[in-house]
């Protein structure tokens, strides 16, 4: 081994305190080899690394655990304020890249190895912005401005349209302006954006109300990123974070890695040997660390395998090396030491120390070298078209264990919901809600062959729900969207993405799209306070007078005290049956068919075979009422309320969002032309 990786040398670097310096102890080759560990039983061996510099992020080892928050890639202010970018040369010398910045992180090396993207802020009160540095002379220029917090930049391949004179380059970054909160109410909503290298033509790429982070580039030119999924609560109120892909223009958003392993997958990188390596964990660690796992690029939906165990340590921020290995930061499993940079072999499990400063955490290491630029991508997005199209070939093509559970003809209609982000502080009323607000865009009939063809507002979070004859949602998708003029299709509902569809023409495609693009003010919300409560008062209060009844409610909601009593009814319905249950005892937000309240309304258990063990639970018929029985229309109010999230007051959430740009139009992050 050469230079930094073998010879006895001394590192000299700026202290993280203004004006200070420190000298690291000399590290001999023998000390590095002694730190070599074997994760998979492979004998230690000397590894030669490319004779190239590394770019790393460093921050002081503070008493609070870690620099990164529960949202991967987004650092906590108190720790990130001390972060800096350092260029580490093979001979052991270093150079501060982020001179003049209060804090800097998230380095990304250009394809030719001469430039560097990074996120930084010059003063503590400044928002995070994206900058580009020339590694040769150290000159720095700013790219993003006035967009709120911008983090995690990466270079894109070229993008072009059929009528453009030439392709152009862009960058991707995570935008987090703080004006909207994610669906769990835990942090500001983060999504992917793009812009040209001069900062113009800013476009929002993803519209997931739960949040997207950690973008990197696949060899085919698509973006790979970590996507927080919480729209259906099928993985509990904590949701899960999976790996998804999207085109450079925000079209064709889809799952990339199979949903196996641990709950949270993030910080992906693509190796030269065709692996997607990422960090995974079950808990939301303060710094985003966890174990390493991988899928293959060729079969990402059926190739998951763990690479390390919890006893091997905490890993953070993998990045690829030219020979298929990765650089990754590691610390001990108990987290009591600082992160050092290691070289890890995904094939054999060997791990060797490369660089460690015991006074600082060293993360986000990138090798400064040239590499092949991924494929360019074309775009048919047309900004002047406020709509997009969604179609499905066959809703009966699914991932259900037994196809007989959902026979042809059992899906009658499709409900289309628009997601509305929280635009108020979630410490208020939003914090008590399980899901983001929804508005009903409409319902359409499903074709005899199971096909669908609809037109929806572009750049709008959409949730699709297939309905049975009672209007109960059978399956619900996560947040999806269509870009301007995009025609986005799927094979089925939750189908295996590696399978090819049957060679059959979908009948609804010949009939033309059903347009569901009514003006925002005409879109319906269904909530407890304005829609369910009046029914309870007029039809249910006569029998439910006892305090132990979950539906015991005052007859009139006008007085503040009576509204408080109604709120208590709402909370009783959604109180979890057990301490670990993600759902309410009587109401399961987003899933009316498994809610006991709905079982009472219809006099039977309306769960489906794939809802076990609830499908095997006996439902109780609602006792005879002294007042008039509920009409079918009133029952549908309960069903729509639960299937659309079971919110207390959806109208207030929609009113808070009224200041947002109309659906299909460009928002404040989207300025300039192509």
145, 199 contact by CB (below 8 A): yes
Selection from 199, 263, 208, 205 nearest residue 237 by Cα: 263
Structural tokens at position 224: 């790979």
581 pLDDT band, cuts 50/70/90, is low
Mean pLDDT score, 51-78: 60
Q: With 90 as the cut, is the pLDDT of residue 34 above it?
A: no
pLDDT of residue 556: 43
pLDDT of residue 259: 80
280, 262 contact by CB (below 8 A): yes
In 3-state terms, what secondary structure has residue 95?
strand
Domains defined along the chain, listed by start: 3-370 (2.120.10.30), 387-525 (no CATH), 528-646 (no CATH)
| String of DSSP letters for 581-592 | -SSBSS--TT-G
pLDDT of residue 8: 30
579, 561 contact by CB (below 8 A): no
Structural tokens at position 284: 């939301």
Q: With 60 as the cut, is the pLDDT of residue 193 above it?
A: yes
562 pLDDT band, cuts 50/70/90, is low
Selection from 209, 240, 241, 236 nearest residue 588 by Cα: 236
Name residue, tokens 């729509």: 640
Q: 165-185 pLDDT, tens per residue?
A: 999 999 999 998 767 888 887
Q: What's the rounded Cα separation, in Å, for the pair 408 and 412? A: 10
Report the DSSP beta bridge partners of residue 327: 319, 343
Q: With 80 as the cut, is the pLDDT of residue 510 above it?
A: yes
Q: What's the rounded Cα separation, in Å, for the pair 175 and 153? A: 10
End-to-end CA distance of the chain: 48
Report the share of the chain in percent with pLDDT over 90.
Answer: 57
Selection from 635, 572, 566 nearest residue 600 by Cα: 635
Report the share of the chain in percent with pLDDT over 70.
Answer: 79
pLDDT of residue 671: 41
Q: With 80 as the cut, is the pLDDT of residue 318 above it?
A: yes
Mean pLDDT score, 152-173: 93
pTM equals 0.87
What DSSP designation does 493 have? B
CB atoms within 10 A of CB 573: 20
pLDDT of residue 453: 96
pLDDT of residue 30: 29
Report the range out of 138-147, 416-425, 554-563, 607-616 with the highest average pLDDT.
138-147
Q: What's the rounded Cα separation, in Å, for the pair 249 and 194? A: 8
Q: With 90 as the cut, is the pLDDT of residue 459 above it?
A: yes
648, 433 contact by CB (below 8 A): yes
pLDDT of residue 363: 94
Q: With 50 as the cut, is the pLDDT of residue 361 above it?
A: yes
pLDDT of residue 90: 87
Q: What's the rounded Cα separation, in Å, for the pair 602 and 622? A: 8
Q: With 60 as the cut, is the pLDDT of residue 250 above it?
A: yes
C-alpha distances out from residue 610 to 167, 175, 358, 406, 410, Å: 48, 38, 52, 10, 14
pLDDT of residue 494: 79
Helices (H), 266-342: none
28 pLDDT band, cuts 50/70/90, is very low
More confident residue, 96 or 28: 96
Q: Does residue 568 come out as left (phi exceeding 0), alpha (psi in the -120 to 50 range) or beta?
A: alpha
pLDDT of residue 549: 56
Structural tokens at position 389: 């199209």
CB atoms within 10 A of CB 457: 24
| String of DSSP letters for 606-663 | ---GGGTTGGGSPP-PPPPPSSPPPPHHHHHHHHHHHHTT--S-HHHHHHHGGGSPPT
Q: With 50 as the cut, is the pLDDT of residue 412 above it?
A: yes
Phi, psi of 506, rounded to the nearest 5 degrees: -75, 125
239 pLDDT band, cuts 50/70/90, is confident
Mean pLDDT score, 335-344: 92
Mean pLDDT of the chain: 82
366, 322 contact by CB (below 8 A): no
Q: What's the rounded Cα separation, in Å, for the pair 537 and 532? A: 9
214 membership: H or E segment, kind and range? strand 212-217
More confident residue, 405 or 60: 405
Mean pLDDT score, 407-430: 81
392 pLDDT band, cuts 50/70/90, is very high
Q: With 80 as the cut, is the pLDDT of residue 305 above it?
A: yes
Q: With 60 as the cut, is the pLDDT of residue 663 above it?
A: no
Q: What's the rounded Cα separation, in Å, for the pair 344 and 331? A: 13
C-alpha distances out from residue 151 to 77, 356, 466, Å: 13, 25, 37
More confident residue, 114 or 232: 114
Lowest mean pLDDT: which of 161-170, 289-298, 429-438?
429-438
Report the DSSP beta bridge partners of residue 129: 120
pLDDT of residue 326: 97
Lowest mean pLDDT: which of 22-26, 60-64, 351-355, 389-393?
22-26
Mean pLDDT score, 446-471: 96
Q: With 90 as the cut, is the pLDDT of residue 444 above it?
A: yes
pLDDT of residue 176: 87
pLDDT of residue 619: 53
Q: How many CA atoms lie within 13 A of 351 on its CB side?
A: 24
pLDDT of residue 237: 78
């Amino acid at each position: 081994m050469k230079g930094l990786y073998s010879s006895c040398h001394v590192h000299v670097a700026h202290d993280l305190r203004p004006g200070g310096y420190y000298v690291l102890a000399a590290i001999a080759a023998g000390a590095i080899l002694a730190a070599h560990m074997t994760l998979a039983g492979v004998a230690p061996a000397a590894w030669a690394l490319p004779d190239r510099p590394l770019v790393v992020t460093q921050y002081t080892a503070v008493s609070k655990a870690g620099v990164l928050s529960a949202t991967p890639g987004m650092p906590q202010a108190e720790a990130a304020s001390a972060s800096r970018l350092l260029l580490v040369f093979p001979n052991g010398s270093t150079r501060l890249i982020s001179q003049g910045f209060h804090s800097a992180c998230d380095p990304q090396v250009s394809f030719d190895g001469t430039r560097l993207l990074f996120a930084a802020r010059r003063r503590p009160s400044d928002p995070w912005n994206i900058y580009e540095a020339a590694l040769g002379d150290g000159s720095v220029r700013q790219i993003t401005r006035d967009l709120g917090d911008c983090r995690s930049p990466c270079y894109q391949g070229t993008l072009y349209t059929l009528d453009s004179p030439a392709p152009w380059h862009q960058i991707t970054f995570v935008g987090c302006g703080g004006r909207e909160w994610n669906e769990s109410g835990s942090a500001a909503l983060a999504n992917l954006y793009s812009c040209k290298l001069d900062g113009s033509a800013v476009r929002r790429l993803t519209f997931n109300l739960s949040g997207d982070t950690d973008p990197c580039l696949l060899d085919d030119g698509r973006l790979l990123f970590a996507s927080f999924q919480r729209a259906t609560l099928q993985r509990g109120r904590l949701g899960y974070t999976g790996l998804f892909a999207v085109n450079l223009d925000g079209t064709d958003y889809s799952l990339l890695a199979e949903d196996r392993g641990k709950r949270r997958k993030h910080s992906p990188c693509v190796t030269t040997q065709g692996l997607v390596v990422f960090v995974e964990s079950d808990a939301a660690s303060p710094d985003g660390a966890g174990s390493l796992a991988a899928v293959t690029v060729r079969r990402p939906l059926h190739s998951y395998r763990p690479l390390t165990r919890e006893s091997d340590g905490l890993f953070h921020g993998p990045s690829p090396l030219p020979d298929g290995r990765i650089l990754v930061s590691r610390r001990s499993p108990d987290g009591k030491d600082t992160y050092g940079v290691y070289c890890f072999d995904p094939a054999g499990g060997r791990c060797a120390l490369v660089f460690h400063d015991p006074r600082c955490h060293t993360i986000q290491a990138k090798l400064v070298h040239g590499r092949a630029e991924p494929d360019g991508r074309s775009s048919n997005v047309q900004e002047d078209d406020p709509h997009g199209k969604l179609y499905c070939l066959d809703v009966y093509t699914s991932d259900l264990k037994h196809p007989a559970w959902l026979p042809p003809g059992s899906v009658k209609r499709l409900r289309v919901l628009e997601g509305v982000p929280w635009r108020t502080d979630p410490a208020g009323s939003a914090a008590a809600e399980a899901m983001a607000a929804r508005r009903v865009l409409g319902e359409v009939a499903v074709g005899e062959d199971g096909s669908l063809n609809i037109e929806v507002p572009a750049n709008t979070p959409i949730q699709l729900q297939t309905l049975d004859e009672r209007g109960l949602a059978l399956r619900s998708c996560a947040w999806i969207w269509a870009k301007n003029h995009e025609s986005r299709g799927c094979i089925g509902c939750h189908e295996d993405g590696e399978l090819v569809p049957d060679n059959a023409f979908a009948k609804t495609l010949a009939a033309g799209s059903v347009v569901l693009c009514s003006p925002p003010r005409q879109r319906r919300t269904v909530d407890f306070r304005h829609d369910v409560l009046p029914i309870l008062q007029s039809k249910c209060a006569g029998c439910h007078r006892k305090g132990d009844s979950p539906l015991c409610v005052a007859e009139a909601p006008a007085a503040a005290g009576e509204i408080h009593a109604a709120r208590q009814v709402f909370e009783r319905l959604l109180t979890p049956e057990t301490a670990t249950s993600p759902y309410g005892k009587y109401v399961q937000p987003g899933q009316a068919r498994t809610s006991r309240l709905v079982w009472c309304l219809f006099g039977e258990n309306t769960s489906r075979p794939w809802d076990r063990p609830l499908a095997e639970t006996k439902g109780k018929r609602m006792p005879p009422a002294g007042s008039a029985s509920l009409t079918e229309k009133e029952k549908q109010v309960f069903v729509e309320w639960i299937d659309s999230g079971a919110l207390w007051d959806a109208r207030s959430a929609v009113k808070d969002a009224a200041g947002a740009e109309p659906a299909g139009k460009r928002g404040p992050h989207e300025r300039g032309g192509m």
